[in-house]
Amino acid sequence: MKTLWDISPPVHAGAPVFPGDTAYTQQWVASIGPGCPVNVSAITLSPHVGAHADAPLHYDPNGLPIGEVPLDTFIGPCRVIHAIGVGALVMPGHIAHGMADLPPRVLVRTYARMPQSTFDIALPAFAPETVELLADRGVQLIGIDSASIDPASSKTLDSHQVIRRRGLRVLENLLLDDVPEGDYELIALPLKLTTADASPVRAVLHSLP
């Protein structure tokens, strides 16, 4: 019986990024050979590549950087709710079947198969009223398997502004293809990047006892 789900997509040079964002690149600065006992690489990437946690600084000029965000919200009981193929916005009715006795963390699966080779410019996002409803129910962290909780074309980032105002944390670009609906333990810790607006996470779900 499966007890652990890795919900982080692979990060590599071909990993999709938001148009104009910094893709993953890697170079070797040392290689094992005569006089050198180790391989050492240098990497460059946007902190929004792959599964990641946005910091308040990403959508609030006075918000905390990710290295100052408390970690407790990123660990603990979590529910996965399916809203597969519902269209551009996840509305409250799309997740109503999974709203009873919610834990503090909710991840929503929108894709049957998450796109991992190209950026989905028509990505599914949260309607702001859905985020408001989850906050009203005591949810402290929301997550989605698309690259953003707002449409890619949005200039107002309405759902991000709801999490700013309501104090929620967010995970984006999760890989939920093989995760059944239900309750789990989430572990998705960001790096302690002291000035960054986001951080990659290695997100996993663990089955509950």
Is 58 in the active site?
A: yes
Active-site annotation holder among 12, 48, 52, 58: 58
DSSP of 60-103, one letter per residue?
-TTSPPGGGS-SGGGEEEEEEEE-TT--SEE-GGGSGGG-TT--
Here the tokens at position 182 are 């239900």
Please report, for residues 40, 43, 71, 128, the alpha-carbon distance to residue 187 in angstroms, rounded to integers and kept in the order given. 28, 24, 10, 25
How many alpha carbons fall within 13 Å on the CB side of residue 183? Answer: 11
Catalytic residues: 58
